[in-house]
A and B are shown apart, each in its own frame.
Chain A
Amino acid sequence: MTAPQEENFMRKIQAEEKIEPKDWMPEAYRKNLIRQISQHAHSEVIGMQPEGNWITRAPSLRRKVVLLSKVQDEAGHGLYLYSACETLGISRSEMIEQLQSGVAKYSSIFNYPTLTWADVGAIGWLVDGAAIVNQVSLQRTSYGPYSRGMIRICKEESFHQRQGYEAILELAKGSPGQKEMAQDALNRFYWPALMMFGPHDSESAHSQKSMEWKIKRETNDDLRQKFVDQTVKQIEVLGLEHPDKAIKWNEERGHYDSSDLNWDEFWSVINGNGHCNRQRIEHHVAAHEEGEWVRDAITAYNDKKRAKKAQNAA
């Protein structure tokens, strides 16, 4: 027999009502949300690094301000998501600890290195593009603060994809050297971008329960198909070669057929064999530790200020 509060909870989920922070929720729902939202937040924050890698080398002043504001947005999105997650009773410092100790994950895409300027364009176009497909669907997620965060993020994110595509477009119609750079970036980032949607649903540990609770609204494979379909035309407009030689329109399905992904590589990168797994975490830890004395200083300053105030009041 289910408890009345659990029934009440499921009734809300089924009626498409949002669950809000103070509402009763099953412990597993809370845990599942914390896992997903914090992973999402960490991805935004770690995601600052591969693109941040090119801020100081951006080839024009216009690209420099665009990239800087884009990376800054990622930090902002991390903040929105940490905020949403904190409403579930976990602090940001706990989340950061979980990230740094490897308990919490972030999107594996950021373990790939950015080797040329074109990679910045490819990330905006493909990685943010894939993220948007996922995030648009998450705007309808059942947890209120997460849903509202997603709506905000989606509004800002469309600039990210457009600036990336525009940067790649400029390269694709530029000198042979630039075009080669664009093709190379596409070849390297296309496959990992597809893997961002996660494993096949049949192999995804959290998929089923997340769908039932409406934390996730569409399956990994459906979302991936959407992305494959929308990208074909975009590659064509660039005049670049599609990295998937097997890509083919399937009239019957109304979708493109494509090659199966190299899941061994996917799991291998997740399990620590990417070029940047260690580097990304070390960077985060280093910045965090270097910031420790600054955070200590503001607390000390604030304590002094309060003590002075109390003294004056006495």
Chain B
Amino acid sequence: MSDQIKNAIQEYATRLGDDSVVLGHRISEWVSYGPFLEEDIAYGNVSLDYVGRARLFYSYAAELADDGRDEDDFAYMRNDREYRNLLLLEMPKGDFAYSQVRQLFADVYYTLVLPELLQSKDETLAGVAAKAIKETKYHLRRSRDWVLRLGDGTEESHKRTQKAVDQLWGYTHELFDMDETEQLLVNEGIAVDVSKLRDAWLKMVSDILTQATITVPEDSWAVRGGRTGYHTEHLGHMLTEMQIVHRSHPGCKW
């Protein structure tokens, strides 16, 4: 494997790790704040799945980097400008409708991405995909049901759900952006060509939203930048909190 490819895979694994840890962290903020006990437990399971995924992707990135770093160095010792996650995933948890709409957007996305990643020539990435596919199948079942209930529930829940959809829609466009790094890996049969997935995503999401009596927004605005480290203001605060203990004791084990 050429150094160029190897570096690209390391970057790709890091991006996927960033996506997972950021969303996993946001979901974990719900613990003890759920609308009732059963949901608190159930949503915690989703968070565990995502942080678990992050560990696998980071470990692989660390293995490729081969410079003595481990999964925690990737999660805790990189600044917000170095993080490469999608903006959608770093948005604050908001209210329950906001979190579930974001979850639906992400779950549908991974429902489409993961089967492609399963075909990757890179065995490690394909292996993570195989595990994650099962998790996502369950996540989607949950988020779809929640959006249906909230969208077609009371007037208030409908209003909140529509608002969340409108507020988050503009962050979904970059989910399907490609850059040179990913294009290089697509050509090698390693990465997923996400640019081909937008139509399918739009159809699945629109069907669910329509069923939930929610209006699918027009594509009137789009914010981009996660993959280049050009983040919203929210990520900095999130990482400050997440990294504070780790960074306060340099070089320590936990």
Contacts and interface: CB of A to CB of B under 8 A. Distances in A.
Interface of A: 45, 48-49, 52, 55-65, 68-69, 71-72, 75-76, 78-79, 82, 117, 167, 170, 174-175, 177-178, 283, 287, 290-298, 300-301, 304
A59 B35 contact: no
Given A63-B254, A68-B51, A301 B246 contact: no
A61 B44 contact: no
A291 B36 CA distance: 7
B241 interface: yes
Q: Is the interface of B mostly helix, strand, loop or mixed?
A: helix
Given A61-B75, A298-B149, A174 B54 contact: no
Interface string B143-178: 000001110111011001000000000000000000
Contacts of B225: none
Q: What are the 3 tightest A-B residue pairs by CB atom distance, in nearest-first order?
A: A297-B153, A291-B35, A297-B157
B195 to A, nearest CB: 31
Q: Which of the four size classes fits the interface of chain B?
A: 35 or more
A52 B41 CA distance: 13
B33 A79 contact: no
Nearest to A292: B35
A178 B149 CA distance: 47
A56 B242 contact: yes
Given A57-B242, A60-B76, A298-B149, A65 B48 contact: yes
A48 B31 contact: yes
Contact of A71 (B21, B32, B45, B58): B32
Contact of B41 (A79, A170, A283, A293): A79
A64 B31 CA distance: 12
B15 interface: no
Residue of A60, A78, A82, A117 with highest tally of chain B CB at under 10 A: A60
Given A56-B242, A75-B40, A283 B32 contact: yes
A257 to B, nearest CB: 36
Residue of B34, B35, B45, B253 with highest tally of chain A CB at under 10 A: B35
B245 A58 contact: yes
A296 B157 contact: yes
B253 A295 contact: no
Contacts of A71: 31-32, 44
A75 B41 CA distance: 6
Nearest to A293: B156
Contact of A117 (B29, B31, B242, B245): B245
Interface in B12-29: 21, 25, 28-29
B71 A61 contact: yes
A290 B45 contact: no
